[in-house]
Chains A and B, each alone.
Chain A
Amino acid sequence: MPANNSQFFDTDYQSRTSRILQSLHIDPVLLAGLLLLMAAGLGILYSASDGSMEIVQRQVVRLSIALLVMFFVAQIPQHQLYLWAPWFFALGIILLVLVLVVGDVGKGAQRWLNLYVVRFQPSEMMKLVTPLMLAWYLSEKHYPPKLSALLISLGLVVLPTLLIAKQPDLGTALLVAAAGFFVIFFGGLRWRILFGALFAMLAMIPVLWQFMHDYQKQRVLTLLDPESDPLGSGYHIIQSMIAIGSGGLYGKGWFNGTQSQLDFLPERTTDFIFAVFAEEFGLMGEIVLLSIYAFIIIRGLYIAARAKDSFGRLLAGSLSMTFFVYLFVNVGMVSGILPVVGVPLPLVSYGGTSMVTLMAGFGILMSISTNRRLIAK
């Protein structure tokens, strides 16, 4: 794939502005996409929160902090990340074990580590550290990785995933596993092994079922037949589907969504915010919103493709695809084709933890994107 296949994505064009951004380790195209998404997200949140300026302001503060984090992370040179990777990973695993032993319980799961200053969620950190570790490990291996390398990689993914799933936090475990998997995928996993593993996973489903908590089983059952418990666990899905379906092609208009404005839609500022958007802006709005997401993901993959070395490629590719998994799981859940797992709509849902992680991830992406040039010079 030639590097300059697209004029649009070409950052070789050197202007004064782009040189400044370059020195600040900022990818202007990716930043533009992110800012556009954040702006749209704030608009949706304003309506979903029933016009609460307070909630919007808090979200603006969070977004600003997240942007600062992104900017800060972007300044970390890629080789530094490479050096830190195993240490971060070791620290993350220790913290996850600590959480299981002494963590705080919230909403029926043990996820938080109380550091007395802030409450800290180590599982959130693993979303970045796991792909970092795998990229560190696989970038040293020859293409295509040998079976032994694959098995070790698998272990590096499974270990944090199981620790997080034990908390239990299925949504995060899924995202961590996905992040790790994409590194292996970009690392040259043979197609036949990939498909073999997929079939093996399908076969594993009944075994997995045995290990699931009752409420997780309930969520899956609810997905299959929401009407079986319309006022209980099916309520979220039914109301969400009503909101989306009644939105129609063009939507009911900003602030006019009856499902969301009259409280029928639960969790409407957080996990189900996409249903609010769908109700008020319809299919047309969704096409626009999903296009912004697609733009960001493809830009991420483009950065990955142009990365100077294997470590940067694998890490950038994995982070971009993890962002997509967020989107797919959330929209799939809200529209009733995936079970309800607590995955927010990235950068739009109200709430801080995942947003900071996501933007730190984009910071790494930006570091990788500018790293290529620095080395080239």
Chain B
Amino acid sequence: MPYRSHVSDHSYETGIFRFRAIVAALICLLLIGVLLTRLAWLQIVDHDHFADLSENNRIRLMELPPTRGLIYDRNGVILAENKPTFHLEVIPEQVEDMDATLKGLAELVTLTESDIKRFKEQLKVHRSFQRISLRTRLNEEEVAKLAVNHYRFPGVDVNARLTRFYPQGESTAHVIGYVGRINAKDLTVIDEGNYRGTNYIGKTGLEKYYEAELHGKVGQQKVEVNAQGRILRVIEKVPPVPGNDLVLNLDIELQHIAEEALGEFAGAVIAIEPHTGAVVVFVSKPGYDPNMFVHGISHKKYNELQHGIDKPLFNRALFGQYPPGSTFKPFIALAGIEKRRFGIRESILCRGHYLLPGDETKRKYRDWKKTGHGMVDFTKSIEQSCDVYFYELAYRMGIDQMHDFLAQFGFGERTGIDLLGERRGLVPSTEWKKRIHGKIWYPGETLIAGIGQGYMLTTPLQLAEATATLAGRGERVVPRLLREVHMAEDGSIKTREPSKTQIELRRERHWDAVFHAMEKVVHGTWGTARATGWGMKFKMAGKTGTAQVFGIAQDEEYDAETIARKLRDHGLFIGFGPVEDPVLAVAVVAENGEHGSAMAPIAKKLIQRYMEKYTPEKLKSKRKKHARK
């Protein structure tokens, strides 16, 4: 058609347009159909998946960590408590610019490199909206600065958290131990479920031993949160069960007395009640401040403690193994009369040295008193600590009989105290030497063993435990620091019967003989600790001891003045009192203390104070007795 009329052109156009409008409408409907298909896919096919995601967004399970149980001494003095401290915490999701925030915060509070390093490590593994601790233990000034500048740092908060605190510091460090951040090694032994939300775990001492009692049970709450992580409401809540409180046998006053009395010496003082096994004093010096460990100690500080000359982290009472020296003599003398190797009234002549019968080298085994003690019997051998008597006794008994008798008192084995890692000490025997060293036992070694030297090793705790057994006339009780547990759930009190064994002697009066001889050590005219016994309000039995740090060659003068302090002999003392009815047995080991007799006053002070506090009637009756005389 060469020419189109205006009208037909118009209707042609209208026709095309209407067709296209219908096409357009259909395309619209089709595309709306596409949208609805997509929506139906999300809302019907994938509904469960997205419903889960939506719930995960909204509902958060929060652990409610339990409050750790407290630790008290026997009189209710607090030894471990939980104190609120202020922590700087960050919710990373709410921080816009982490680097700028950290930089800004560093201007307000001290942030060490290790703080930031630890923070960044946690940042990598944290759950969403979990708070990460950036700094612990803010001081008041820092808290105030942060409060003023809080608006500048979204996602940054200062929160009060309960932190373990040891008010007695060094004094109880070796008993209570400390808690520290849970590390990978801890995770392998704990029930992780119960430790969700808990940051700290007992690392040493009682904190570790009684971790199960102290920790409590984790609680849980289901909360609804918004996108900023703010809790809007609690949907479900299972409250945590706090840890149980521990009451110890320890008496912190006596503990302080012992510490002070030990003075500058490194060493250990243990006091145990006979019959109950209650550990009243447990001192290992030097101590350290356990509070340093709660928040993570710096490497530098830790190395200082670890490698310091006095090794403050080393628990001497538990791990320290010392030659018992003369403190073994009461036990060996008792063995002699018990095993019929010596009569109670039998005397031998002490000339200041001893020759091993049949020894062709004629080696002289020397007494500490070069001039000799003259005629020495059972009592005098202990009172004056005559070495020759014990050489002879050892020669007559032999090492194996000695070993078997001493083992009855717990030497050479763990006491079973409620602390971990205790050492065994060592009481040698022929069998032992063959097994360990592959060599036969020489008779000369028996003599050295007879005066508590040579291979003999004991821990201060063992020594105290054996002394308590002696004081209890053979009633051997496993020493315990824990007196009772106060249950958090119902307030009831849980105690445990002490586990006991009895050492039976042939004659009951053998105990009296040892008591008498040991009393003479303190109160006799020639007793090695007679200086202490002067003017005492009660009768104390005891035994001094000196442990050589290194052996001295034949005929060489031993001059304590000229060698370094560290090479001086260790001074030891064991004692109990009152003799008539012992209430407390004490063992003291003072490294490089030189003289055991110098340690006797420590035992005296402890027993006296103990009696004043707990058994004053025994002190009074004693005085009346004196008055009557």
Give the interface of A toward B (CB within 8 A).
Answer: 1, 142-144, 182, 185-186, 188, 231, 239, 241-249, 258-259, 262-264, 278, 282-283, 286-287, 290, 293-294, 297-298, 301-302, 304-305, 310, 313-314, 317, 320-321, 324, 327-328, 331-332, 335-337
Closest to B17 in A: A313
Please tell me if B537 contacts chain A, counting CB pairs below 8 Å.
Answer: no
What is the minimal beta-carbon distance from A51 to any residue of chain B, in angstroms?
15
B18 touches A142 (CB 8 A): no
B227 touches A245 (CB 8 A): no
Given known pairs A301-B21, A332-B35, A335-B42, the reply for A143 and B47 (CB within 8 Å) is no
Question: In the complex, which residues 23-50 of chain B have their Cβ closer than 8 Å to any Cβ of chain A?
Answer: 24-25, 28-29, 31-32, 34-36, 38-40, 42-44, 46-47, 49-50
| Chief secondary structure at chain B's binding surface | helix
List 18 other contacts, CB 8 Å, given A186-B17, A239-B57, A248-B44.
Answer: A144-B16, A185-B24, A186-B21, A242-B50, A245-B46, A245-B49, A249-B47, A258-B54, A258-B55, A258-B57, A262-B57, A264-B226, A283-B43, A286-B36, A297-B25, A297-B28, A304-B17, A335-B38
Closest to A258 in B: B58
Assembled-state Cα–Cα distance A297/B14 (Å): 19
Assembled-state Cα–Cα distance A239/B54 (Å): 8
Given known pairs A242-B50, A263-B227, the reply for A298 and B25 (CB within 8 Å) is yes
Question: Could you write out 26 A-B pairs with CB less than 8 Å apart?
Answer: A144-B16, A182-B24, A185-B20, A185-B24, A186-B20, A188-B17, A241-B50, A242-B50, A245-B53, A246-B53, A246-B54, A258-B58, A259-B54, A263-B227, A264-B58, A278-B39, A294-B29, A294-B32, A298-B25, A298-B28, A302-B21, A304-B17, A304-B21, A310-B13, A313-B14, A328-B32
Chain A neighbourhood of B54, CB < 8 A: 242-243, 245-246, 258-259
A335 touches B35 (CB 8 A): yes
Assembled-state Cα–Cα distance A242/B16 (Å): 44
B39 touches A262 (CB 8 A): no
Chain A neighbourhood of B226, CB < 8 A: 262-264
Please tell me if B12 contacts chain A, counting CB pairs below 8 Å.
Answer: yes
What is the minimal beta-carbon distance from A197 to any residue of chain B, in angstroms?
16
Assembled-state Cα–Cα distance A297/B38 (Å): 21
B43 touches A293 (CB 8 A): no
A290 touches B35 (CB 8 A): yes
A1 touches B18 (CB 8 A): yes
Given known pairs A246-B50, A264-B57, A283-B44, the reply for A335 and B39 (CB within 8 Å) is yes
Chain A neighbourhood of B55, CB < 8 A: 246, 258
Contact string against A for B residues 220-234, beta-carbon threshold 8 Å, 1 for contact and 0 otherwise: 000011111000100
A249 touches B57 (CB 8 A): no
Chain B neighbourhood of A246, CB < 8 A: 47, 50-51, 53-55
Question: In the complex, which residues 184-231 of chain B have their Cβ closer than 8 Å to any Cβ of chain A?
Answer: 224-228
Assembled-state Cα–Cα distance A9/B13 (Å): 22
On chain B, the number of residues with a Cβ less than 8 Å from chain A's Cβ atoms is 44
Chain A neighbourhood of B35, CB < 8 A: 290, 328, 331-332, 335
A337 touches B38 (CB 8 A): yes
Chain B neighbourhood of A182, CB < 8 A: 24
Please tell me if B22 contacts chain A, counting CB pairs below 8 Å.
Answer: yes
Contact string against A for B residues 4-19, beta-carbon threshold 8 Å, 1 for contact and 0 otherwise: 0000010011111111
What is the minimal beta-carbon distance from A183 to any residue of chain B, in angstroms?
11
Closest to B31 in A: A328
Assembled-state Cα–Cα distance A206/B42 (Å): 30
Assembled-state Cα–Cα distance A294/B32 (Å): 8
What is the minimal beta-carbon distance from A227 to any residue of chain B, in angstroms?
12
Assembled-state Cα–Cα distance A264/B22 (Å): 41
B36 touches A290 (CB 8 A): yes
Cβ-neighbour of A249 out of B13, B34, B44, B46 (below 8 A): B44
A188 touches B57 (CB 8 A): no
